[in-house]
Amino acid sequence: MEKKIVNTRMAPDPIGPYNQAILAGDLLFISGQICIDPSTGVLKNKDIQDETHQVMHNLKAILSEAGMDFTHVVKTSIFITDMNRFTEINEVYGKYFHDYFPARETVQVAALPRMVNVEISMIASK
C-alpha cells in the first residue's frame, strides 16, 4: 500500500517527529491537533470554545489538503484535561458535522502538549 505524507501551511507545523497526516490507500490518519494558530504559531485559547474551534479549523485544513472534508471522517479521538468541560467541547465539535457523526472516544488525560485543554485526532476515508 502506498503511503503519502500530507502537510499544509494552513495547519500548524508538527511540534515533534511526526507529520500532520498520512494518507494510506483511501484512509487519512490525522495526527492530534491542538489550538495553535498556524498563521502566528500562538495558542488560540482565550476560552474552551475558542480553543476547540481552532483545533477543528486545523483539522479542516488538513482534510482539505487531502481533498476531503468532515463528511469523510469515520473516527475521532478527543483528549481533554477536564471531563467537566466535555459538554462545552462537544457543543463546538458537533457544529462541524452536519449529516452524521463519526465514531469517537473521549478520554480525560493528565496533560497535553503546551498545556492546552483539548487535542483531537481523526481518521477519514475517501
- pLDDT, tens digit (0-9, with 9 covering 90-100), for 4-13: 999 999 999 9
- pLDDT-derived band at 1 (thresholds 50, 70, 90) equals confident
Lowest mean pLDDT across 79-83, 97-101, 104-108: 97-101
Given a cut of 90, whether residue 87 has pLDDT beyond it is yes
Cα separation of 66 and 7, whole Å?
A: 9
In terms of Cα–Cα distance, which of 59, 60, 72, 62 is closest to 99? 72
The pTM for the full model equals 0.97
Give the CATH architecture of domain 3-125: 2-Layer Sandwich (3.30)
Predicted confidence at residue 99, as pLDDT, reads: 84
How buried is residue 86: exposed, middle or buried, by Cβ count under 10 Å (0-12/13-18/19+)? middle
Task: Return the percentage of the chain with pLDDT > 90, whole number.
Answer: 96
Residue-averaged pLDDT of the chain:
97
Predicted confidence at residue 34, as pLDDT, reads: 98
